[in-house]
Structure 1
Amino acid sequence: MANDKEPQRGNGDKGGGNNPWMKSLAIWVGILLAIALVVSMFEGGTAAKTGESIAYSEFLSRVDDGSVREADIGAGVITGKYSNGAQYKTFAPTDPTLIQRLSAKGVTFRARPDEQPSLWTYLLYQSFPLLILLGVGYFVMRQMQKNAGSGAMGFGKSRAKMLTEKQGRVTFDDVAGIDEAREELQEIVDFLKDPSKFARLGGKIPKGALLVGSPGTGKTLLARAIAGEAKVPFFTISGSDFVEMFVGVGASRVRDMFEQAKKNAPCIVFIDEIDAVGRHRGAGLGNGNDEREQTLNQLLVEMDGFEANEGIIIVAATNRPDVLDPALLRPGRFDRQVVVPKPDIEGREKILAVHTAKLPLAPDVDPRTIARGTPGFSGADLANLANEAALLAARKGKRLIAMREFEEAKDKVMMGAERKSMIMTEDEKRATAYHEAGHALVSLHVPGCDPLHKVTIIPRGRALGVTWNLPERDRYSMTMKQMKARLALCFGGRIAEQLIYGAEELNTGASNDIQQATEMARAMVMEYGMSEKLGWLRYRDNQDEVFLGHSVSRSQSISEDTARMIDQEVRRIVEEGEMKAREVLTEHLDELHRLATALLEYETLTGEESKKAIKGEDIGREDPSKRAPRALAIGGSSIPKSRRPGGWGSPTPAGA
């Protein structure tokens, strides 16, 4: 499943040959050249020849003393040359003796008739400036109307771009891992291909389909695949493109978008992030006449108003269906909600097959193994994983992408990149090793913990070390036994440090572990009904409501006695987890030393290597003393849970 946010060019973008900027520049250059031509024509038709301007009396004196060689006699103007070649010009009155004086002195003279412009030339001189103004005005108005939203005349035009088969056609073959969503949307494709099949039985195709899912699951890609399968025009626009600061502009754009869709029906109109314009009405300030609500009202009318928009199917995507207006979700509008979930292990394997189809893979690459080690990954996450593996292989100068590159890419994506620039002392490195060994040892001996996948003391991201547990299969719920085992796992690192260094040497590195344990225990008591004292009651409502455009959490009102009992139960559950971790580590203290020693030698151990290390067996690695020394990092805080599924952070320095 490719990235569902891949940009595409619209029909107006044909390459550099039709660059609108170059076209506008050429038009303006032509206008300037025309103006320069008119100016030169006026100057050529009205200006006399250049030369020294002299008085008529001086001209007669020059004629008498023989200094004048040539004379051109026109209507009131005489021009010519002196004997030395210099030019002159004078304005002469009517003088009947001038011809005789010129002849007597041997001056070559000629008479120049008055130049009368033709009728067409006269009309051109008179009308050309007006034509220039009209041309400039027409050009400006045309540009304002053509560029939707970029000028005053196009401010209310739709910004939807139409994609056709020529712009990278996508089909259902390019979409993997979401088979249920594909099957539900196949009906829309069949309707667009053969509408009469449904019309014979009186059936009507749903006017709108709402794709609901987490970011990166392929909602946009799925909508493009519908258009690609049906081979119909596909209009795409974002919800934020409708909303402007001026009231009424969004509604105008909605009308214009549906007008364009009617001209290309049957077609699909895809609105991405529709929650930007479709939020619950009445949640904003004012009396409901603001821009966003007017835009939503117009969208509701166009989707199911008096005028039927036959052949237009609206497909929208959002990851916040809870904030959408109820009128938008009723039958007749978005009457079909298609959930696009994160893929399971089978889906992840199919998605990896799509993304690795064009990559040169080594024989040892097993998509099934990669899919098992990436629970919770979306299609975009898996695309990023395949790309990171290709980049790592290229950086090493390899011609094939091996399984090792995929493992390194997975570590980088889930735990962060290795930090090699900062130096860690031997004492800090040893403390980190015991902290991570404590987490790992608890996960190996407490029933209900996920299998140990990897433990490392190499700093990654914002953690100095990570213990990584992966479930054997995709998990959709957790039992009380599993949650208590995870609570014990949280305290494995802190208890290990306390057993080795004493209570006085504890540091702030376990803050993230304590936070996770506290949140889990409080959820067990207040949300999951896992406390015998408080029973199967819910004491916390984490549903959100929209107020003044913001999401606000509502908390159920509880009495002081109940709140005190909740705190007591949370403390009891946390202390049980702590006691379980202490019991395991005290009983297997020798294994803790062996695992910490192996981590100091090899820095990273897999789950199987960790089991060998606690038994004192050889893990089958090369002698670490032969490897080049590498600096270790210090600083930062534990990796957030969102970046570290199943992993547990190492100690962090004070103040983190």
Structure 2
Amino acid sequence: MNDNDKQPGSDTGGPNPWMKSLLIWVGILVALALFVALIGNREPGAAAAQIPYSAFLDKVESGAVHDVNIAGEVVTGTYNDTTKFRTFAPQDPRLTDRLREKGVVISAKPEEGAPIWQILLVNSLPFFLFLGLGYFVLRQMQKNTGSGAMGFGKSRAKMLTQKEGRVTFDDVAGIDEAREELQEIVEFLKDPTKFARLGGKIPKGALLVGSPGTGKTLLARAIAGEAGVPFFTISGSDFVEMFVGVGASRVRDMFEQAKKSAPCIVFIDEIDAVGRHRGAGLGNGNDEREQTLNQLLVEMDGFEANEGIIIIAATNRPDVLDPALLRPGRFDRQVVVPRPDIEGRVKILEVHMKKVPLAPDVDARVIARGTPGFSGADLANLVNEAALLAARKGKRLVAMSEFEEAKDKVMMGAERRSMVMTDEEKRMTAYHEAGHAIVSIHEAASDPIHKATIIPRGRALGMVMRLPERDSYSYHRDKMYANLAVSMGGRVAEEVIFGYDKVSSGASSDIQYATGLARDMVTKWGMSDKVGPVEYAQPEGESFLGYSNSQPVRMSNQTAQLIDDEIKAIVQGGLDRAKHLLTEHIDQLHLLAGALLEYETLSGDEILKLVAEGSISRDDGPKSPSVPGAGTSIPKTRKPKGGSGFGNPAPAGA
């Protein structure tokens, strides 16, 4: 039976679930009513008045009794006024003589019990009630767990249908190489003779490897939408249970189901839950997991080949998988799903932006430039946040301003406009961020400035964001020195304007970034003439269960001291370059700090125009920011907030 043959509201073509529950409860109520009725009718004559035996004898002596019926020890009858009575008579041999003396009509019959069918029904009714209740509970357990109460070994794989929300390769962007490799599998399923005539065999398995959110599951859904063959999906955790042998039984059952629908595709998400390295527990391994993995290995490539079944699995932990699972013949292809580059991010943004009404000023490439390292899931979340911000403001279109605000919110957190800061702290924050910006403008190798703000977000009290023109896969020495100078520009600006004793702790993240970059230059990249092109960095390899194959770097005390001296010299060199630039362009520092106090946020174009022309124009007309100092009043269009922090979207070490 296909999906179109099923009745609406049911997965099996039967009655609706609420109808089943209603019938069960109606049956229980009818059984209870029948039980009460049978109990009430078990004793005949229950409506007659019960009298003591002594009162019965007095009535007989007074001649008030018309007739009696004796059934064992139970005596029933009527008075002369047709009133019925009932009593319990002991073994009295003189009772019959007394009745005859008073002219009472006597009838007798043996004591009758309830019919045998009534007795059986009443005695078995509680048993049937408990049996029905147990059946109802077991059916609910089956419905909730997806398998029978005793069917733990049944597979939980679900066949994916594409009634609505169908995903195709057109919906997958930014990972072209991975898409092409999987598209070949789909073509093989559609036309196997195209490859078979040259001796090619269909791949038995493909392993999708990538960071979380890069689109592994989306690729699997696209395969299901394109292939046109049955597509089973299951999670690796669905195999593992507390009972030994259950997982292996589920693997066998899953492949039995797949054989009936071959050719088909089976997608196992998060396969590392069941495919971990065997024996890595050092004697404390999970036997159930290992048995499940062994059965999976046999089913994928054992004595009985499962032709026409393609296994596609996804994981973000390939380092923990068992080598037997990764060999050709089981997973013939390992498809790496990387984080997208700038062109890939543009395509991903365009896919998600199709569902959002956009304003004319939205530029997907500018957004992609400001989101290096974002995965497909991150970009989808960014578009959604921008749409929510626009809806909150009552707009009909999502503009570039919403995307910028959403990007800042995703990267650094929401604005902290409730923070209360003194005027002195605001001025120091403005000069700190202006110091970063001025040094960046005059460092030729620095990335262009995108935005500067003194509005606190998350843990940062301010930010200068620079956007690279394109993705960089290697970084040159001149750019590293430029980044060092820019990172130290905020601390230098505080010292130049407010004095040595007024330097704040706001440059902690800047110092951390500069120190890490200088350490990488010395210990990893061989950019110190005194240390030379030798690697002294500590290993950062993958570790499994707390054990790492990498050995720590051994060095003498003299070498360690030399490395520390070189790191300090490089960071100090960046600080000296920043101090030289800010001292030479002190007027631009004052001008930009005043503009930040006035407007709180400035774009890169506004900063460049301010430095070149000395003023900027906004909707309320041209402004010429005053130099903040003693006795200077700065006009404010919004309540200013201040902070410190150095923002650069490029990864550490850039």
TM range (shorter): 0.7 to 0.9
Residue 218 of structure 1 corresponds to 215
- The 2-side partners of 1:68 and 1:575 are apart by 127
What CA distance in whole angstroms lies between the structure 1 residues aligned with 2:424 and 2:475? 38
* CA distance in structure 2 between the aligned counterparts of 1:12 and 1:284, rounded to whole angstroms: 47
Distance 1:84 1:562 in 2: 127
Residue of structure 2 in register with 1:618 after alignment: 615
Distance 1:84 1:605 in 2: 111
The residue that corresponds to 1:487 in the other structure is 484
Whether contact under 8 Å (1:80, 1:88) holds in the other structure is yes
Aligned AA (1:480): R
Q: Could you say what secondary structure the match of 1:45 adopts?
A: coil
**Matches of 2:79 and 2:614, distance apart in 1:** 118
Deviation, structure 1 residue 78: 3.4
1:396 maps to 2:405: no
Deviation, 1:200, is 3.7
Q: Secondary structure at the match of 1:613?
A: helix
The one-letter code matched in structure 2 to 1:515 is: Q
Which of these residues, 571, 579, 583, is aligned with residue 580 of structure 2? 583
The residue aligned with 1:4 is none
Write the distance in 2 (CA, Å) between the matches of 1:181 and 1:172.
11
Q: 1:220 to 1:66 in 2, by over 3 A?
A: farther
Give 1:462 shift: 1.1
In the alignment, is residue 294 of structure 1 matched against residue 291 of structure 2? yes
TM-aligned CA distance change 1:529 to 1:536, over 3 Å? same
Of residues 277, 281, 292, the one that matches 1:280 is: 277
Alpha-carbon spacing, 1:340–1:479, altered in 2? closer, same or farther (3 Å): same
TM-score (norm 1): 0.85
Query: 1:261 is aligned with what amino acid?
Result: A
Q: In the alignment, which residue of structure 2 is the partner of 1:451? A: 448
Query: Which amino acid is the alignment partner of residue 77 of structure 1?
Result: V
The CA distance in 2 between the partners of 1:86 and 1:495, in whole Å, is: 117
Q: Report the secondary structure of 2:384's partner residue.
A: helix
Does residue 254 of the first structure (1) align with residue 251 of the second (2)? yes
Q: Is the contact between residue 421 and residue 632 of structure 1 (CA under 8 Å) also seen in structure 2?
A: no
- Between the aligned partners of 2:43 and 2:151, the Cα distance in structure 1 is 45
8 A Cα contact 1:148 1:155, kept in partner: no
For residue 112 of structure 1, report the CA deviation from its aligned partner: 8.1
1:89-128 equivalences in 2 (<5 Å):
89-92=86-89, 96=96, 124=121
**Contact 1:455–1:604 at 8 Å: present in 2 too?**
yes
Aligned to 1:306: 303
What value does the CA root-mean-square deviation take over the aligned residues?
A: 3.6
Change (3 A) 1:544 1:103: farther
Is 1:346–2:355 an aligned residue pair?
no
Shift of 1:603: 0.7
2-structure distance, mates of 1:275, 1:626: 60
Matched, 1:201 2:194: no
Quick check: 1:321 aligned with 2:321? no
Moved more, 536-545 or 264-273: 536-545
Task: For residues 327-348 of structure 1, give each alpha carbon's deviation from its aligned partner in whole angstroms, at most 9, with x where no partner exists.
Answer: 2211111221112122233322
Q: Secondary structure at the match of 1:491?
A: helix
Q: In structure 2, do the counterparts of structure 1 residues 511 and 248 end up closer, same or farther at CA, with 3 Å as the change threshold?
A: farther
Higher mean C-alpha deviation, range 158-167 or range 617-626: 617-626
Q: Distance in 1 between matches of 2:77 and 2:613?
A: 118
Structure 1 residue corresponding to 2:378, chosen from 340, 361, 381: 381
Query: Within 2, Cα distance between the matches of 1:549 and 1:263?
Result: 43
Q: Distance in 1 between matches of 2:385 and 2:134?
A: 54
Q: Which residue of 2 aligns with 1:172?
A: 169
1:56 maps onto 2:53 in alignment: yes
CA gap of 1:137–1:307, structure 2 versus 1, over 3 A, is farther
1:129-167 Cα distance to aligned partner (Å, 9 max, x none):
665566566666666667658776234443333321236
Is structure 2 residue 637 aligned with structure 1 residue 645?
A: no
Matches within 5 A, 1:592-611: 592-611=589-608
With over 3 angstroms needed to count, the CA separation of the structure-2 counterparts of 1:119 and 1:569, relative to structure 1, is same
Pick 1 or 2: higher relative contact order, CA cutoff 8 A, min separation 6: 1
C-alpha displacement of 1:584 = 1.1
Secondary structure of residue in 1 paired with 2:267: strand
Instruction: Judge conservation of contact 1:462–1:638 (CA < 8 Å) in 2.
Output: no
Moved more, 17-26 or 90-99: 17-26
Residue 514 (structure 1) shift: 0.9
TM-score by length of 2: 0.85
Give the drift of 1:449. 0.8
Q: Are the aligned partners of 1:366 and 1:403 in contact in 2 as well (CA < 8 Å)? A: yes
The reply to whether residue 361 of structure 1 matches residue 365 of structure 2 is no
Query: Is the partner of 2:439 in helix, strand or coil?
Result: helix
Q: What residue is the counterpart of 1:8 in the other structure? A: none
Structure 1 residue 349, shift from structure 2 partner: 2.4
Aligned amino acid, residue 50 of structure 2: S
Structure 2 CA distance for partners of 1:133 and 1:385, relative to 1, 3 Å: closer
Name which of structure 1's ranges 145-154 and 353-362 shifts more when overlaid on structure 2: 145-154
| Structure 1 residue aligned with 2:524 | 527
CA 1:82–1:524: 2 relative to 1, 3 Å: farther
Q: Which amino acid counterpart does residue 276 of structure 2 have in structure 1?
A: R
Q: Does 1:632 align with 2:641?
A: yes
Report the secondary structure of 1:615's partner residue: helix
Helix, strand or coil at the partner of 2:159: strand
Structure 1: distance between partners of 2:133 and 2:344: 59
Q: Distance in 1 between matches of 2:198 and 2:145?
A: 42
1:336 matches 2:333:
yes
Larger mean Cα displacement after TM superposition, 547-556 or 464-473: 547-556
Shift in Å, 1:395: 1.0
| Structure 1 counterpart of 2:503 | 506
1:45 is matched with 42
Shift of 1:414: 2.3
Shift of 1:465: 0.3
Q: Which residue of the other structure, out of 532, 537, 540, is the alignment partner of 1:540?
A: 537
Rounded to whole Å, the distance in 1 between the matches of 2:22 and 2:525 is: 68
Comparing 235-244 with 432-441, greater Cα deviation is found at 235-244
Which residue number corresponds to residue 630 of structure 2? none
SS at match of 2:42: helix
1:372 to 369, 374, 387: 369
For residue 628 of structure 2, what is the aligned residue in structure 1?
none
Q: How many residues in Structure 1 have an aligned counterpart in Structure 2?
A: 629
Shift of 1:554: 4.5
Task: Output the amino acid matched with 2:323.
Answer: P
Give me the whole-angstrom Cα distance separating, in 2, the residues matched to 1:46 and 1:167.
Answer: 65
- Per-residue CA deviation, residues 265-324 of structure 1 (Å, 9 max, x unaligned), is 332222222223323333213165634333333322222122212222211112222332
The aligned counterpart of 1:426 is 423
8 Å contact kept, 1:164–1:232: no
Deviation at 1:633, TM superposition (A): 6.9
- The residue identity in structure 1 corresponding to 2:404 is E
The Cα of 1:197 is off from its aligned counterpart by 3.7
| Structure 1 residue 436, shift from structure 2 partner | 0.4
Task: Using the TM superposition, name which of 110-119 and 217-226 deviates more.
Answer: 110-119
Counting only pairs closer than 5 Å after superposition, residues 4-19 of structure 1 correspond to structure 2 as none
What is the percent sequence identity of the aligned residues? 66
CA distance in 1, matches of 2:20, 2:134: 17
1:44/1:603 CA distance change after superposition, 3 Å: same
CA distance in 2, matches of 1:548, 1:250: 23
Q: Which residue of 2 aligns with 1:653?
A: none
**Is the CA contact 2:147–2:154 (under 8 Å) kept in the aligned structure 1?**
no
